[in-house]
Structure 1
Amino acid sequence: MYRVLIADDEPIERQVISKKLNGFFKDQIEIFLAANGVEAVELVKEKNCQIAFLDISMPGKNGLDAAEEIRTFDERCSIIFLTAFDEFSYAKKAIEVRALDYLLKPGADNELINVMEEAFSIADKYETEVKNVDTIKKSTPSSDFNLDEKDFSKSGEIVREAKKYIDEHYKEDISLQDVAGVLGYSDVYFCKLFKQNFGKSFIVYLNELRISKAKEFLANPSINIKDISSEAGYRDANYFARVFKRMTGQTPSEYRNGVID
């Protein structure tokens, strides 16, 4: 079970996100709720939460301050900011605390699902590589953390490079962090540019590309569906089937039958 914190001072907002997550990831997650930043920090520490949704605008200790405090004792937690405002200053702060992403409210279901799956992947990686929390080494901030809004004039070039890299490597186990690193940019800087130019997050774009490729392969009846999952960039055939069903409303077999018939 993945331990997930949802911190928002609005009870309705907490319940909406909680209901969505339980609907999408039933039996996979345990959810804890916090009404402010102080409670959020306490719960992450007490419950050892692997994923934390933090509303930025909370009274007292806001989400940004809570995230900064969480990072003093937990380098592993996937922090996802929730905000109603797309402010550049939030991106800069997110860089400092190495947040996984920040979602605009009300968030789209596909972005919520994809960021959760990315967080699951990160949690699994830590479970495999780290046996004891005391052995975790604190990461050093990237040299490009000091950003200025004029840097966003480079967005066209960065996006072209990113698109080319993703198109060439979508079959591999790549993440936003991988692509940002290859191109020489910080995670959140690249994340914001990607969203601004594509109108969707990196994870959503990658899954849409992979499913599009899978559809092409499925039109060829001579290719085994298990092989198609690998060719489309999914190591696990069952996981591929779940993503395909979620994004198309059909299983790979159902889609193939419809195309061939």
Structure 2
Amino acid sequence: MYRVLVADDEPIERMVVTKKLQKYFPGQLEVFQAANGREAVEIFRREGLDIALLDIEMPGINGLKAAEIIRGESRDVSIIFLTAFDEFSYAKRAISVKALDYILKPAEDGELQAVIEEAMQLADQAFQGKSAKEWEEKSPPEHFAEEGQEITRIRVAAEKIRSYIEAHYREDVSLQDVAGMMDYSDAYFCKIFKQCFQKSFIMYLSEFRVEKAKELLEDTMVNIKDVSSSVGYRDSNYFAKVFKRMTGCTPSDYRFKVLQNKKQDGK
């Protein structure tokens, strides 16, 4: 599970954000709460966080100072500022601590969900890097023993999951749906999924849908809203945000680039 911190001096804000995270990522996040920057740093040091959602204006150590301390001790934690203050000086300091995002309150649900998905992807990448290093340090006999014990189980599970997503990605498929199909608990499914694909379920599904969307976008006769619904996104604006986060451009920009490339190839 991903370890996430929600730091805000307003108890209601902490509760609202925590409930949203649990709603959109059930069984995937362990959420900790802090009422100020000092508590945020203490929880980070005690729990080893993957993601830190920080308000800026908090008593004692504020969110910016807490972020500086956290970043000084870990380059892998994704820091996200969730604040009501739209000030350039704050944004500059957010950049200096390599914050993943700077979101103004009240955050749209889709925006919060998208940035958490991105943070989960970064956590997966950091985990893979550490795992690869640990693997290299093991002796060859241990490599072969572990591989022999796990490879068949993982291969079978991966194929079942891949087939299910292929058949249901157009629907409102959830982690619970696939876990239920496998007859796994949500927590165990998350563990198995990461072993199979080296990324979170949400990130895998998003990447799968975006690749399908790219294929549809090459057909100019298909409306972008129809592309969105055809790959499982009922909200076309949210689809555009996910697409841009994963490709670096909007769906319409992607379509334009494809058309330009086709024209150049036809010359």
Identity percentage of aligned residues: 52
Displacement, 1:96? Answer: 1.2
- Deviating beyond 4 angstroms after TM superposition, the runs of 4 or more aligned structure 1 residues are 206-220, 240-243
Partner AA of 2:50 in structure 1 = Q
Larger radius of gyration: 2
Partner of 1:57: 57
What's the CA shift string for 1:71-90, capped at 9, x where partnerless?
Answer: 12111100000111211111
Structure 2 SS opposite 1:53? strand
Q: Using the alignment, how far apart are the partners of 1:243 and 1:40 within structure 2?
A: 38
Partner of 1:26: 26
Q: Using the alignment, how far apart are the partners of 1:21 and 1:98 within structure 2?
A: 22
Structure 1 residues without counterparts, runs of 5 or longer = 134-205, 221-231, 233-239, 249-261
1:106-121 equivalences under 5 Å are 106-121=106-121
1:94-243 equivalences under 5 Å are 94-131=94-131, 213=214, 216=217
Q: Give the TM-score taking structure 2 as reference length.
A: 0.53
Change in Cα spacing, 1:241 to 1:74, as seen in structure 2 (3 Å) is farther
Partner AA of 1:115 in structure 2 = V
Q: Using the alignment, how far apart are the partners of 1:110 and 1:208 within structure 2?
A: 16
Structure 2 SS opposite 1:244? coil
What's the CA shift string for 1:102-138, capped at 9, x where partnerless?
Answer: 11000011110110010011000000012499xxxxx
Change in Cα spacing, 1:54 to 1:246, as seen in structure 2 (3 Å) is farther
Displacement, 1:36? Answer: 0.4
- RMSD, aligned CA: 3.4
Q: Using the alignment, how far apart are the partners of 1:52 and 1:35 within structure 2?
A: 13
Select the residue among 234, 239, 244 that pairs with 2:232: 244
Q: Give the TM-score taking structure 1 as reference length.
A: 0.54
Instruction: Tell me whether 1:46 sits opposite 2:46 in the alignment.
Output: yes
Partner AA of 2:94 in structure 1 = A
How many corresponding residue pairs?
A: 159
Partner AA of 2:61 in structure 1 = K
Structure 2 SS opposite 1:130? helix
Displacement, 1:95? Answer: 1.4
Verify the 8 A CA contact 1:3 1:30 in the aligned structure 2. yes
Change in Cα spacing, 1:53 to 1:216, as seen in structure 2 (3 Å) is same
Q: Which has the higher helix share?
A: 2
Partner of 1:84: 84
Q: Using the alignment, how far apart are the partners of 1:210 and 1:104 within structure 2?
A: 30
Structure 2 residues without counterparts, runs of 5 or longer = 134-206, 222-226, 237-267
Displacement, 1:29? Answer: 0.5
What's the CA shift string for 1:150-171, capped at 9, x where partnerless?
Answer: xxxxxxxxxxxxxxxxxxxxxx
Partner AA of 2:232 in structure 1 = F
Displacement, 1:241? Answer: 9.8
Verify the 8 A CA contact 1:211 1:244 in the aligned structure 2. no
